[in-house]
Structure 1
């Protein structure tokens, strides 16, 4: 299995929880400074950090897989470096792309019914988008294909991939290989999302099929002013 699961780090976890649940995500893990939220497609982890921490307001590209060893073997056989990484708290796979970017695949947890399905309480129209910035979009795209991600769109400036178990992996062109900003896609009318956000006292607006949501981390100046939800 393969699922998009970026991690957002913030010193404002409560504001983020309110925002995400208003968007239609469902909290599935609540373990102190670590929370996870399911969308209709894809998952988002939220890690709490102190104010002014280097990661405060940033999103780290990542995925979940069912079998770490098998995932690493298949990715290596396809031509992309994938190394089992023994951490202090869990085992992961570190993937190294030829553009110089590295990201981790985390072990997924099965649902109560034994499947890899996300929570059926989440808004089915909402999809998590994990973003990777690369000066070499073609090389980055090759790495994602080698992990088992499925190409959806690709040109010189960007590429998007679907995953078997939910979420979108996106590459956009940039000067350096690094993590991009968190985003979402929505399959449906954006007005109900706008209404839910306003009911939760969250500033938001719609402009040309894009919902712009006030970013709780923007007050520190270390994050974009808005989180983007694109209608598809």
Structure 2
């Protein structure tokens, strides 16, 4: 069945055969990796007599708009669940996809951080999120920069979310932790934000490993399983940096 308003209709099927595709230009203006994709076999093509073929320039504004457009309402809906949201913008400088500015009407001190957490949960490809008051226009980069320059206290208002497999890197860069647990591909549970010591203790206890600090360098080291220090830390409940 044809689509009456379509300019071009392609009929065919997706085969099981794979071939290399690309490279193509991503929204960042850089090349995407070459990937193996399924071959589509076209069995028929139907067009209007004077059909229009609309090509999209890779890495251009249309590409960015189409990538980001579905995520602005997703972010809006997620943030609306934690505070009153006025507007959401995926910025042009962030490729319309990677950076968000969120305008809220703040009622409590934690609304900004809650909005940031909700935004990252709704759009996992985000790299930076800026939350502004309702008197700041998210679409005006000068106003957004003004808000950052005059209303941000770095030690209180800036939050970095680090996803890292190296516990040493987490130790050096984090002051809060969220511990994830559950069954792979079945269920997952995220803890509330915990202090670094509390979160690391919780995580290390679950996997049965203890960490100590080297007295000279301060570098974290894992204890050998069932060593004297490992047993001492486990018996004391301190899986993270035993203090003699």
Q: Does the TM-score normalized on the shorter chain lie above 0.5?
A: no
TM class by smaller structure: under 0.3
Larger Rg: 2
TM-score normalized by structure 2?
Answer: 0.21
| Structure with greater helix share of residues | 2
Higher relative contact order (CA 8 A, sep 6+): 1
